[in-house]
Each structure stands twice: as C-alpha cells, then as structure tokens.
Structure 1
Amino acid sequence: MNITKEQIDELNAIVKVAITKEDYQDRVENILKDYRKQANIPGFRKGQVPMGLIKKQYGKAVLVDEVNKLLQDNLNKYLTEEKLDVLGNPLPKQQDNFNWDSEEFAFEFELGLAPEFEVELKTKKPVTHYKIVADQKMIDEQVERIRKQYGKLISKEEVGKEDEVRGTFRNEEAEIDNNATLELKKISDKKAISALTGKKVGDTVTLSTKGLFKEDYLLAGALGLSNDKVENLDVKVDFTIEEINERQPAELNQELFDKLFGEGKVSSQKELEERIKEDSEKQFEQQADQKLLNDVTERLIETTEFDLPAEFLKKWIQTTGEKELSIEQAQEEYEKSEKGLRYQLIEGKILKDHNIELQFEELKDFTKGFIKDQMAQYGQMNPEEEELDRIAARVLSNQDEAKRLSEQLMSEKLLALYKEKANLKTKEVNYEDFVKEVYG
C-alpha cells in the first residue's frame, strides 16, 4: 500500500491511496474459507461447497468490505502519523472509471486543513470586567424583604393602601377563575388602588387587566394564565375579596438572625447587612464572570484572523449529514456554524499554547465540590468523603453529566487565564446598572 499527499494550498490537500492485490488477498481468502466452512447450499455437504462457487456468490462483497476497512484503517493511521490537523473528515473524490474487477485500486480523498495562526490574549481594546457591588439601596430592599417574609399577618376589616388582599378573579368569557393574593404596593393602576381601598370582605370590585401591573408575570400569576396569554390582555375582571391582611414586618432581633443564619452567626443589623452584601456580591461575581467569558470569547473571534477551507467545509456539510443538502442549504449551514468553528480552533490553540488540560482527579474534585454545594443547600454541611466519592463516581459515569462538568471546569480554567493575561478594564457598578448595560 502506498499513501501520498498532494498539497493544493495551505488549507487544502489531496491524499492518494494505492492498494495492491498483496494488501488484501490474504484477508479476503481467509474470510471466504470461513464462509465455505459454514455455507449451506443445496446439493453440497456442509464445508464441501466448491471455492469457485463461494467466490462467485460472496467474493465481490467480501473484497469491497475488506478493501474499505483496509483503506479507513491506513488512512486514519497516516493522518495521525503525519500529524495532519484536518477539519471535518476526508472526503472521497468521485472516480468515474473506478472498477472493482481490477486487482489494484487507487483512491483519492480531499482534506480540509486547519489554519496556522497565533492568538493574542492581550487585545488592543480592553474588555470590560464588571465588578458588581451591592449598594445600600439594594441592601435596604433585601432587609425589607426579609422583614416582610418573616413578619406577621394581621387581619383587617377594610383594605388599606399597604395591605394584602386575597380573593378570586373571574371572567367567564376569558376563562378566568383564579384565587390569588394582591399586594396593593405592586399594583400600578391608580384607579384599581382607589377602587380597592376601603372595601371589605365579600365586596366585589371590577378591575381592568390593562395596566394593572407593570410586569406581565405579575398579571399572569394573579389571573392563573400563562405569560403569552396575558400579553396585551385587555378585559374586565371581577375580584371578590375573601381576606384582608396587613403585613407587620418582623423585628430585627437575635431570634430572626438565628433563624436566618444559625445561632450566634449574626448579632446586629450591621452584621446582617454585611452578610447580605457578601452573599449578594458572591452571586453577582458568577454573573460578571460569565459575562467576561462571553465578552473575551467575542473579542478573540473578532481579533484573531485566519482563513478556513470554506469550499471544502461546505462540501463536507453538504454530503455527510443524514440526507444530502443542496448547495444553498450547505452554504446556510456553513454560515451558521462558521463562528463556532472559529472559536473551537481559537480555544484549541489557547489550550495548547498555555498547556491547559483536564486531569481526571481534577474533574473528580470539581464534581465533589459541586455535590457538596448541593448537599449544603439541604442542610448536609459535612458529608463523609466516602459518600462524596461514591456520588461523584455515579455522576461521572453518566456521559452527559461528565461532559457538562468537564466544560464547566474548562471554562473556569479559561476564565482564570483571561483574568491573568487578557487586557481587562475593571468597572464597578451596582446590579441595576449592570442589568441596564448588559441587557439593555
């Protein structure tokens, strides 16, 4: 067997594979001998069928199968030994005069080669690295939410502007019949607030759904409908009052602090606010890190220039799916996948240049940390190491879970590298401003 490569240009090559009779003859003969031993053909005893008949019946199929196996095995071996970094898979070239009755065969394959390029992490234009801080306004709001959540409900006879009112919304035509609690603070329609104020248990008030709340999800929850059904909903609903309560906020005392954080962990309002700030900013850090990872990725795709073997890749997309695509469909698929392919190559280059790889023990420890965090949420603060090992082994035996956790760990490694090497500009913002800047 002889394999040679013809370089077309930097990104395209042709591999030619020449197979002679000596390469496949013994393999074919041995398989046909096995066929002869097992063949059941009328008129012949088992194992006594003439070899000529076996060859006539099975010879061509066995030849084709063995030559293809030989071809694939040696082609893959050649690509590995020559260290050819190919994109997609080798594509067999159409050969109009190919003849399986010949004793020697010649095959040709098109290759799309990965480009050579450098990745500069320290880009000219810096990437914004957000540091999200919990400002006093947010801390005050969180304290107020805690006080309300752990406060007492005091029954009232008449609805006041700060009260919570439980009742049933009804509109037969719109198929609305839902029991819900209204916080008058969250109602944005002043007419609705005025209509409800002063009402008593048993009273029915007609409200307009349009503009009742600022957010659609609040209306959906009140009416018991899906978000898409309440979008632009403009109907009248009858709300029958069943219960009126004033929520008296809980006092900021040791009993509440112990209930929230465990006995003696927090002992003053100042310490409570510090804890809220610390916990909030830890959560914000995850969001800021994900934003940084996304932004550095985008910046690297923008600034790392290289060509791809586009025509080869379009042909590969066109012919290797479950069904063959048209040229136009292949072009469309290529355009959709080009950005992702570019980043795969960039990421691969970064990992190689900086010797970043995943070791199984690292992945196992990362998985155990993930499991510990989950168990802590359910009050299991100090699980046994053996138990963690057992659960981690079970989690990592699931290929999908192992892949997901591997990707998470790799993202953490890349993030650490970017924080160290990339051109970053730290910007301190509160959460509200972060949301405005990032999500508009």
Structure 2
Amino acid sequence: MNITKEQIDDLNAVVKVAITKEDYQDKVESILNDYRKQANIPGFRKGHVPMGMIKKQYGKAVLVDEVNKLLQDNLNKYLTEEKLDVLGNPLPKQQDNFDWDNDQLDFEFELGLAPSFEVPLKTKKALTQYKIVADDKMINEQVERIQKQYGKLVSQNEIAKDYEVIGTFKNEEEEIENKTTLELDKVKSKTALKALIGKKIGDEVVLATKGLFKEDYLLSSVLGVSQEKAKDLDIEVAFTIEEINEREAAALDQELFDKLFGKDAIKSEEELKARIKEDSEKQFEQQSDQKLLNDVTEYFIENIKFDLPSEFLTKWIKTTGEQPLSDDQASEEYEKSEKGLRYQLIEGKIIKDNDIQIQFDELKEFAKGFIKTQMAQFGQLDPQEEELDNIAARVLGNQDEVKRLSEQLMSQKLLTLYKEKVNLKTKEVTYENFVKEVYG
C-alpha cells in the first residue's frame, strides 16, 4: 500500500491511496475459505462447495468490505502520523471508471485542513468585567420577602390592598374551573384591583385575563391551564371569593434568624442584611462571569481573522448528513455553523497554547462541588465525604455527564485564564442596572 499527499493550497489537500492485491488477497482468501466451510448449497456436501462458486457468489462483496477496512484503518493512521489537522472527514473523490478487478486499486480523498493562526490573549480593546453589587433597595426588598414568606395568615372579612384571596376561577366556555390563591400584590390590572378591593367572602368578581398579572406566567397557574393556552388569552373569568387573609410579616427576631440559617449563625437585622448581600453577590458573580465569557468569545470570533476551506466544508455538510442536501441547503447550513466552527478552532488553539488539561481527580472534585450545591438547595448543608464520593462515582459512570461536567470545568478554566490575561476594565453596577445594560 502506498499513501501520498498532494497539497492544493494551505487549506486543501488530496490524499492518494494505492492498494495492491498483496495488501488484501490473503485476508480475502481466508474469509472465502471460512465461507466455503460453512456454506450449505444444494447438491454439495457441507465444506465441499467448489471455491469458484464461492468466489462468484461472495468474492466481490468480501473484496469491497476488506478494501474499505484497509482504507479506513490506514488513512486514519496516516493522518495521525503526519499530524494533519483535518476539518470534517476525508471525502472520497468520485471515480467514474473505477474497476474492482484491477490489480491496483487507486483511491483519492479530499481533505479540508485547519488554518494556522495565533490568539493574542491581551486584547487591544478593554472588555468590561461587571461587578454586580446588591444595593440597599434590593436587600430591603429581600428582607420584606422573607418576612412575608415566614409570616402568618390572619383571616379578614373584606379584601384590602396586598391581601391573599382564596377562590375559584370559572369560565364554562373555556372549561376553566380552578381553585387557587390570588395574591393581590402580583395583580397588575388597576381595573381588577378596583373590582376586588372591598369584596367579601361569597362575592363573585368578573376579571379580564389580559394584562391581569405583573408576570405573564402567573395566569397559567391561577387558571389551571397550560402556558400555551394562557399565552395571549383574552377572556373574562368569574372569581368566587372563598377566603380572605392578610399576611402578617414575621418579626426580625432570633427565632426567624435560626430558622433561616441555623442556630445563632445570624444574631441581628444588620447581620441578616450583610448575609443577604454576600449570598446575592455570589449568585451575581456567576452571571457576570457568564457575560464575560460570552464577550471574550464574541471578541475573539470577530477579531481573530483566518480563512476556512469553505468549499470543502460545504461539500462535506452536503454529503454527510442523514439526508442529502442540495447545494443551496448545504451553503445555508455552512453559514449557520461557521461562527461556531471558528470558535471551536480558536478555543482549541487557546487550550493547546496554554496547556490546559482536565485531570480525573479535579473532575471528580468539580462534580462533588456541583453535587454539594444541589444538596444544599434541599437543606442538606453538611453531607458526609463518603456520600459525596459515592454519588460522584455514579455520576461519572455516565459518559454524557462526564462530557457535560468536563465542558463546564473547561469553561471555568478558560474564564480563569481570561481574567488573568485579557485586557479588562471593571464596572460596578447594581443588579437592576446590569439587567438594563446587558439585556436592554
């Protein structure tokens, strides 16, 4: 077997593979002999079928199969040994006059090669790294929510501002009948609030669904219908009042502090606010980190210039999918995927240049940290190390989970590198202003 490469340009090459009978004949003969031993053909004893008949029936199929195996194994070996950085997969060139009976079988494969480029991490432009702070307004609102959540309900005779009303929504035509709790502080419609204020148990109020709540998703739950049905729903519903309650705010005392954070962890309102600020800003850090990662990614894609073997990749996309694509469809798919491919190459270059690796032990520790965070959400604040090890072992036994966690850990490592190397400017903002500035 002989394999040679013809370089077309920096991004395209053709690999030629010449296979002779000596490369495959022994293997083909061995397989056909096995077929002969097992063949059951009327008129012949088992194992005594003439080899000519076996070759006529099976010879071409076995030859094609063995040659294809040789091609695949040796072509992959050649690409690895020659350290060719190939995009997509080698594409066989069409040969109109190919003859499987020739003594030498010649194959040609088109290659799309990865471009050569550099990634200077010290960006010319200073990118913004947001530091999101919890301001007094946010902290006070959170304290109020805690007081309301842990407060007690006091029965009332008449609806007043910010009360909670238990009742049943009905609309026969839309087959709606759902008992629920209506929290007046979440109602947006002034008309609805005016209709509800002053009503008593047993009264019925007709409310319009359009624009009823401050948050659109609430309509689905109070009516007991799907989000899809609730979207753009513009009808009137009857609401029958069954119970009226005022939620009396919980006192900011030691009993509440212990309930929230454990015994004596917090001992005053000032400490509570400080804890809320600390916990909030830890959560905000995740959002600002994701924003930074996105911004650095976008900057590299826009500013690191290199060509791609676009014609080859379009052809590869056209022929390798589950369904063959037209030229126009393949071009459209390439345009959609080009940006992602560019960043894959850039990210791969950064990882290689900076020798970023993921070891199993650190992946295990990363998984344990992830598990510990999830357990804390369900009140398990101090799990045993043995329990974490056992859960991590089960998680890492799933290849999909290993892939997902590895990608997350790699993103974390890249983010750490960017914070060290990229030209950054820090901007301190409240969460409200961060949302306005980033999401509009």
Report the TM-score, using the length of structure 1 for normalisation: 0.96
For the pair 1:177 / 2:177, whether they are aligned, the reply is yes
Inter-CA distance 388–191: structure 2 relative to 1 (3 Å threshold): closer
2:158 corresponds to: 158
| Residues 310-331 of structure 1: per-residue CA shift (max 9 Å, x gap) | 0000111111112211111111
Distance in 1 between residues matched to 2:213 and 2:59, nearest whole Å: 78
2:344 corresponds to: 344
Q: CA deviation at 1:427?
A: 1.1
1:389 corresponds to: 389
1:92 corresponds to: 92
Segments of structure 1 that go 5 or more residues without pairing to the other structure are none
| Residues 386-410 of structure 1: per-residue CA shift (max 9 Å, x gap) | 3322221211111111111111111
Q: CA deviation at 1:207?
A: 2.4
Q: CA deviation at 1:217?
A: 1.9
SS in 1 for 2:217: helix
Q: CA deviation at 1:163?
A: 1.9
Distance in 2 between residues matched to 1:60 and 1:205, nearest whole Å: 83
Q: CA deviation at 1:357?
A: 1.3
2:222 corresponds to: 222
Say whether the 8 Å CA contact 1:134–1:281 is kept in structure 2: yes
Q: CA deviation at 1:431?
A: 0.9
2:334 corresponds to: 334
2:307 corresponds to: 307
2:131 corresponds to: 131
2:57 corresponds to: 57
Distance in 2 between residues matched to 1:121 and 1:230, nearest whole Å: 48
2:102 corresponds to: 102
1:419 corresponds to: 419
1:322 corresponds to: 322
Q: CA deviation at 1:185?
A: 2.7
2:278 corresponds to: 278
Amino acid at match of 1:264: D
SS in 2 for 1:130: strand
Distance in 2 between residues matched to 1:2 and 1:318, nearest whole Å: 29
Amino acid at match of 1:268: S
> Aligned-residue CA RMSD in angstroms?
1.6
**Deviation >6 Å, runs of 4+:** none
Distance in 2 between residues matched to 1:162 and 1:393, nearest whole Å: 49
For the pair 1:193 / 2:211, whether they are aligned, the reply is no
Amino acid at match of 1:221: S
Say whether the 8 Å CA contact 1:5–1:14 is kept in structure 2: yes
Q: Counterparts of 1:255-270 in structure 2 under 5 Å?
A: 255-270=255-270
| Residues 237-284 of structure 1: per-residue CA shift (max 9 Å, x gap) | 222211111111011000110010000000000000000001111111
| Residues 186-235 of structure 1: per-residue CA shift (max 9 Å, x gap) | 32333332322222111122223333333322333332333443344333
Amino acid at match of 2:146: I
Distance in 1 between residues matched to 2:391 and 2:199, nearest whole Å: 57
| Residues 353-385 of structure 1: per-residue CA shift (max 9 Å, x gap) | 000011111111111222222233334344333
Distance in 2 between residues matched to 1:373 and 1:225, nearest whole Å: 33
Query: Could you tell which deviates more after superposition, 182-191 or 54-63?
Result: 182-191
| Residues 12-34 of structure 1: per-residue CA shift (max 9 Å, x gap) | 00001111122112212222222
Say whether the 8 Å CA contact 1:91–1:111 is kept in structure 2: yes
Say whether the 8 Å CA contact 1:123–1:303 is kept in structure 2: no
Inter-CA distance 191–324: structure 2 relative to 1 (3 Å threshold): closer
Query: Could you tell which deviates more after superposition, 416-425 or 219-228?
Result: 219-228
Q: CA deviation at 1:87?
A: 0.5
Segments of structure 2 that go 5 or more residues without pairing to the other structure are none
Give me the identity figure in percent.
Answer: 76
Amino acid at match of 1:274: A
Inter-CA distance 424–211: structure 2 relative to 1 (3 Å threshold): same
Q: CA deviation at 1:298?
A: 0.9
1:15 corresponds to: 15
SS in 2 for 1:115: coil
2:144 corresponds to: 144
Q: CA deviation at 1:351?
A: 0.3
Say whether the 8 Å CA contact 1:151–1:250 is kept in structure 2: yes
Say whether the 8 Å CA contact 2:13–2:110 is kept in structure 1: yes
Say whether the 8 Å CA contact 1:151–1:247 is kept in structure 2: yes
SS in 1 for 2:318: helix
Distance in 2 between residues matched to 1:400 and 1:115, nearest whole Å: 30
The count of residues paired between Structure 1 and Structure 2 equals 440
For the pair 1:41 / 2:41, whether they are aligned, the reply is yes
Say whether the 8 Å CA contact 1:17–1:106 is kept in structure 2: yes
Query: Could you tell which deviates more after superposition, 146-155 or 29-38?
Result: 29-38
Distance in 2 between residues matched to 1:316 and 1:85, nearest whole Å: 16
Distance in 1 between residues matched to 2:196 and 2:416, nearest whole Å: 55
Amino acid at match of 1:114: A
Inter-CA distance 190–72: structure 2 relative to 1 (3 Å threshold): closer
Say whether the 8 Å CA contact 1:216–1:227 is kept in structure 2: no
Inter-CA distance 391–183: structure 2 relative to 1 (3 Å threshold): closer
Distance in 2 between residues matched to 1:415 and 1:370, nearest whole Å: 18
Query: Could you tell which deviates more after superposition, 366-375 or 313-322?
Result: 366-375
Say whether the 8 Å CA contact 1:157–1:201 is kept in structure 2: yes
Amino acid at match of 1:47: G
Q: Counterparts of 1:241-252 in structure 2 under 5 Å?
A: 241-252=241-252
Q: CA deviation at 1:37?
A: 2.1
Q: CA deviation at 1:36?
A: 2.1
Report the TM-score, using the length of structure 2 for normalisation: 0.96
SS in 2 for 1:247: strand
Inter-CA distance 365–214: structure 2 relative to 1 (3 Å threshold): closer
| Residues 411-434 of structure 1: per-residue CA shift (max 9 Å, x gap) | 111111111111222111111111
Q: CA deviation at 1:75?
A: 0.8
SS in 1 for 2:380: coil
Say whether the 8 Å CA contact 2:186–2:215 is kept in structure 1: no
